[in-house]
Amino acid sequence: MSPIKDRPWTEYHSYPAQEMRERARKFADDLHRRRTIRDFASTQVAPEVIRDCLRAAASAPSGANRQPWHFVVVTDPAVKKRLRAAAEIEEREFYANRAPQDWLDDLAPLGTDENKKFLEEAPYLIVVFAQRFAVSADGSKHKNYYVSESVGIATGMLLAALHNAGLATLTHTPAPMGFLRKELERPRNERPFLIVVTGYPAKTVRVPDIERKPLTTIVTEK
Ligand code: IYR
């Protein structure tokens, strides 16, 4: 990549003060309407929408602009079925033996269990991988920086973009999730990060009117 200083520079896009305030408020209000759901309709989603949301994610900042992510977009029912089977093996073990009691107690209000039917029902599974390092065509390794931070930011931007498009999402982290690399034939320099289960909510879905921590408890001004 050519050095930044040799690239064309464009003016920073800004808004008049009033417009800025409105945009900030509307965006926050809209993000607050996002809810994780666990029951998806089989309704199809236009691939262009998913592609544009991935384009939004791809704009994320990353350590040294190394963009250490890869997204596997799963729509093939046979692949989904395999992922569900593999995830449920791990999750059965998680709920029965691996999870300590205090973790199970924290999950109880969510009503989650080892049954992961959403992995087959949702039209899209976007499996996010983090690249610990990059491998060039000649096999040499190139370091990446702040990988978890970068991939976390890109995933957050993906969730915001999908919500903005009117789609529902579920962030699913089967534990452990090493099986995703094998099932999806990803290289050894990548580790599975998260599954973004994406689609429309099932007709029966109701979401709780949950509250978020008030700003006064999460923000300190100095
Ligand atoms: N991976 C399990 C358990 C789980 C853990 C957390 I932390 C959650 O917020 C939700 C679920 C599962 O997917 O059921």
174 C-beta closer than 6 A to ligand 1 = yes
Q: Is the pLDDT of residue 125 over 80?
A: yes
Q: Is the pLDDT of residue 9 over 90?
A: no
Tokens, residue 137: 């065509």
Q: Ligand 1 centre and the CA of 16: distance in Å?
A: 43
Tokens 């690399």, located at residue: 181
pTM to 2 decimal places: 0.94
Q: Is the pLDDT of residue 1 over 70?
A: no
Please give the average per-residue pLDDT across 33-46, as a whole number.
95
Q: What are phi and psi of 16, to 5 degrees?
A: -60, 150
Q: Is the pLDDT of residue 207 over 90?
A: no
Pocket test for ligand 1, best of 35, 95, 103, 107 (most atoms within 8 A of CB): 107
Q: What percent of the chain has pLDDT over 90?
A: 87
134 C-beta closer than 6 A to ligand 1 = no
Sheet holding 124-131, edge to edge: 69-74, 124-131, 190-199, 168-172
Please give the average per-residue pLDDT across 72-93, as a whole number.
97
Strand segments, DSSP code E, in 173-218 are 190-199
Which amino acid is present at 129?
Answer: F
- CA-nearest residue, atom 12 of ligand 1: 174
Q: How confident is the model at residue 3, as a pLDDT?
A: 79
Q: Are 63 and 145 in contact (CB under 8 A)?
A: yes
Cβ neighbours around 52 below 10 Å, total:
15
